[in-house]
Amino acid sequence: MTTLGLIRHGSTPWNQEGRAQGNSDIPLDEQGRGEAEKLAERLLHENWEIIYSSPLKRANQTAEVIAEQLNIDEIDFDQRIKEVAGGQIEGTTEEERIEKWGRDWRDLDLGIEKQPSVIERGMSFIKEIVEKHPNQRVLIVSHGAFIGHLVEWLVTTMNEDKRLDNTSVTILNKTEGKWICDLYNCTKHIV
Protein backbone atom coordinates (compact mmCIF):
# COMPACT_ATOMS: atom_id res chain seq x y z
CA MET A 1 0.00 0.00 0.00
CA THR A 2 1.39 3.39 -1.00
CA THR A 3 0.86 6.17 1.53
CA LEU A 4 0.60 9.71 0.23
CA GLY A 5 1.40 12.69 2.44
CA LEU A 6 -0.05 15.74 0.70
CA ILE A 7 1.46 18.98 1.96
CA ARG A 8 0.45 22.53 1.15
CA HIS A 9 3.42 24.89 0.90
CA GLY A 10 4.30 27.46 3.58
CA SER A 11 3.05 31.03 3.75
CA THR A 12 3.92 33.64 1.10
CA PRO A 13 3.55 37.42 0.97
CA TRP A 14 0.55 36.95 -1.35
CA ASN A 15 -1.09 34.60 1.18
CA GLN A 16 -0.77 37.37 3.75
CA GLU A 17 -2.32 39.89 1.35
CA GLY A 18 -5.12 37.56 0.25
CA ARG A 19 -3.92 37.52 -3.39
CA ALA A 20 -4.73 34.65 -5.74
CA GLN A 21 -1.43 32.94 -6.58
CA GLY A 22 -2.24 30.28 -9.16
CA ASN A 23 0.88 29.62 -11.21
CA SER A 24 2.57 32.89 -10.27
CA ASP A 25 5.97 31.94 -8.90
CA ILE A 26 5.88 33.51 -5.44
CA PRO A 27 8.53 32.55 -2.82
CA LEU A 28 7.94 31.78 0.84
CA ASP A 29 8.01 34.66 3.30
CA GLU A 30 9.76 34.52 6.68
CA GLN A 31 6.68 33.01 8.32
CA GLY A 32 6.48 30.37 5.57
CA ARG A 33 10.10 29.33 6.09
CA GLY A 34 9.42 28.99 9.82
CA GLU A 35 6.31 26.89 9.13
CA ALA A 36 8.32 24.65 6.80
CA GLU A 37 10.98 24.14 9.47
CA LYS A 38 8.37 23.17 12.07
CA LEU A 39 6.75 20.80 9.59
CA ALA A 40 10.11 19.21 8.78
CA GLU A 41 10.74 18.58 12.50
CA ARG A 42 7.35 16.88 12.75
CA LEU A 43 7.93 14.71 9.66
CA LEU A 44 11.32 13.59 10.95
CA HIS A 45 9.49 11.18 13.25
CA GLU A 46 7.09 9.82 10.61
CA ASN A 47 9.35 7.76 8.32
CA TRP A 48 8.81 9.34 4.87
CA GLU A 49 10.95 8.00 2.01
CA ILE A 50 10.45 10.11 -1.11
CA ILE A 51 9.55 13.72 -1.89
CA TYR A 52 7.82 15.07 -4.97
CA SER A 53 7.19 18.79 -5.35
CA SER A 54 5.58 21.32 -7.58
CA PRO A 55 8.36 23.32 -9.25
CA LEU A 56 6.83 26.63 -8.11
CA LYS A 57 9.13 28.41 -5.61
CA ARG A 58 6.80 28.29 -2.61
CA ALA A 59 6.41 24.50 -2.87
CA ASN A 60 10.01 23.93 -3.93
CA GLN A 61 11.35 25.90 -0.95
CA THR A 62 9.05 24.02 1.45
CA ALA A 63 10.20 20.69 -0.02
CA GLU A 64 13.87 21.67 0.29
CA VAL A 65 13.51 22.37 4.02
CA ILE A 66 11.78 19.00 4.51
CA ALA A 67 14.30 17.06 2.40
CA GLU A 68 17.24 18.52 4.31
CA GLN A 69 15.74 17.63 7.70
CA LEU A 70 14.75 14.11 6.57
CA ASN A 71 18.11 13.49 4.83
CA ILE A 72 16.40 12.81 1.53
CA ASP A 73 18.96 13.54 -1.19
CA GLU A 74 16.63 14.20 -4.09
CA ILE A 75 13.37 16.03 -4.69
CA ASP A 76 11.46 15.01 -7.80
CA PHE A 77 9.75 18.02 -9.40
CA ASP A 78 6.62 17.50 -11.46
CA GLN A 79 4.65 20.08 -13.46
CA ARG A 80 1.44 18.08 -12.99
CA ILE A 81 1.19 19.04 -9.32
CA LYS A 82 1.39 22.81 -9.83
CA GLU A 83 -1.42 24.97 -8.47
CA VAL A 84 -4.67 25.43 -10.35
CA ALA A 85 -3.95 28.11 -12.96
CA GLY A 86 -5.69 31.33 -11.95
CA GLY A 87 -5.84 33.08 -15.30
CA GLN A 88 -6.65 36.78 -15.01
CA ILE A 89 -7.28 36.65 -11.26
CA GLU A 90 -3.67 35.83 -10.36
CA GLY A 91 -2.18 38.59 -8.25
CA THR A 92 -5.55 40.08 -7.29
CA THR A 93 -7.43 40.27 -4.01
CA GLU A 94 -11.15 39.52 -3.67
CA GLU A 95 -11.81 43.25 -3.36
CA GLU A 96 -9.89 43.97 -6.57
CA ARG A 97 -11.77 41.22 -8.44
CA ILE A 98 -15.13 42.63 -7.36
CA GLU A 99 -14.05 46.14 -8.36
CA LYS A 100 -12.81 44.95 -11.77
CA TRP A 101 -15.39 42.29 -12.73
CA GLY A 102 -18.25 42.67 -10.24
CA ARG A 103 -19.55 40.42 -7.46
CA ASP A 104 -20.30 37.61 -9.94
CA TRP A 105 -16.71 37.41 -11.18
CA ARG A 106 -16.69 33.63 -10.54
CA ASP A 107 -19.30 33.23 -13.28
CA LEU A 108 -17.04 34.86 -15.90
CA ASP A 109 -14.50 33.11 -18.10
CA LEU A 110 -11.31 34.64 -16.74
CA GLY A 111 -9.01 31.82 -17.82
CA ILE A 112 -9.12 29.90 -14.54
CA GLU A 113 -8.21 26.23 -15.04
CA LYS A 114 -11.29 24.02 -14.95
CA GLN A 115 -11.62 21.09 -12.54
CA PRO A 116 -11.52 18.37 -15.27
CA SER A 117 -8.07 19.61 -16.34
CA VAL A 118 -6.84 19.64 -12.71
CA ILE A 119 -8.16 16.12 -12.11
CA GLU A 120 -6.71 14.78 -15.36
CA ARG A 121 -3.17 15.90 -14.57
CA GLY A 122 -3.52 15.04 -10.88
CA MET A 123 -4.73 11.51 -11.56
CA SER A 124 -2.00 10.96 -14.14
CA PHE A 125 0.53 11.88 -11.45
CA ILE A 126 -1.09 9.75 -8.71
CA LYS A 127 -1.31 6.70 -10.97
CA GLU A 128 2.37 6.99 -11.79
CA ILE A 129 3.34 7.44 -8.12
CA VAL A 130 1.40 4.36 -7.03
CA GLU A 131 3.01 2.29 -9.80
CA LYS A 132 6.56 3.55 -9.12
CA HIS A 133 6.39 3.44 -5.32
CA PRO A 134 4.33 0.46 -4.14
CA ASN A 135 4.33 0.09 -0.36
CA GLN A 136 6.29 3.32 0.15
CA ARG A 137 5.53 6.56 2.00
CA VAL A 138 5.61 9.48 -0.44
CA LEU A 139 5.44 13.17 0.41
CA ILE A 140 3.90 15.46 -2.20
CA VAL A 141 4.45 19.19 -1.67
CA SER A 142 1.90 21.12 -3.67
CA HIS A 143 -0.82 23.78 -3.37
CA GLY A 144 -4.14 24.26 -1.60
CA ALA A 145 -6.60 24.31 -4.48
CA PHE A 146 -4.82 21.49 -6.30
CA ILE A 147 -4.75 19.24 -3.22
CA GLY A 148 -8.36 20.10 -2.43
CA HIS A 149 -9.57 19.07 -5.90
CA LEU A 150 -7.49 15.88 -5.82
CA VAL A 151 -8.67 14.76 -2.37
CA GLU A 152 -12.29 15.47 -3.26
CA TRP A 153 -11.90 13.32 -6.39
CA LEU A 154 -9.99 10.44 -4.75
CA VAL A 155 -11.95 10.21 -1.49
CA THR A 156 -15.57 10.28 -2.60
CA THR A 157 -16.85 10.08 0.98
CA MET A 158 -15.12 13.36 1.97
CA ASN A 159 -17.40 16.26 2.80
CA GLU A 160 -14.73 18.76 3.79
CA ASP A 161 -15.11 22.20 2.28
CA LYS A 162 -12.48 23.80 4.48
CA ARG A 163 -9.58 25.52 2.78
CA LEU A 164 -6.24 23.86 3.39
CA ASP A 165 -3.90 25.71 5.73
CA ASN A 166 -0.26 26.48 4.92
CA THR A 167 2.01 23.47 5.63
CA SER A 168 -1.01 21.31 6.41
CA VAL A 169 -0.62 17.55 6.10
CA THR A 170 -3.27 15.33 4.52
CA ILE A 171 -2.60 11.58 4.47
CA LEU A 172 -4.21 9.19 1.99
CA ASN A 173 -3.97 5.40 1.80
CA LYS A 174 -5.41 3.12 -0.84
CA THR A 175 -7.19 0.19 0.81
CA GLU A 176 -9.15 -2.47 -1.07
CA GLY A 177 -9.19 -0.34 -4.20
CA LYS A 178 -10.46 2.80 -2.44
CA TRP A 179 -8.63 5.86 -1.20
CA ILE A 180 -9.09 6.56 2.50
CA CYS A 181 -8.22 9.88 4.13
CA ASP A 182 -6.51 9.13 7.45
CA LEU A 183 -5.66 12.76 8.23
CA TYR A 184 -6.95 16.01 6.73
CA ASN A 185 -5.53 19.53 6.92
CA CYS A 186 -3.46 18.81 10.04
CA THR A 187 -1.25 21.63 11.31
CA LYS A 188 -0.43 20.37 14.80
CA HIS A 189 3.22 21.31 14.20
CA ILE A 190 2.31 25.02 14.00
CA VAL A 191 0.50 25.29 17.33
Q: What is the CA angle 69-124-114, rounded to 5?
A: 100
Give me the helices (H) in 71-114, please. 94-101
Instruction: Please measure the distance between the N-terminal and C-terminal CA atoms of the chain and give it in whole angstroms.
Output: 31
Catalytic residues: 9, 143
Ramachandran sector of residue 158 (left: φ over 0; alpha: ψ -120 to 50; beta: rest): beta
Residue 191: Cβ within 10 Å count: 5
d(CA 174, CA 185): 18
Chain-centroid distance, C-alpha 148? 8
Amino acid at 155: V
Which of 46, 48, 54 has its CA nearest to residue 8?
54
Tell me the CB-side half-sphere exposure of residue 103, using CA atoms within 13 A.
Answer: 0
Using alpha carbons only, how large is the chain's radius of gyration in Å? 16
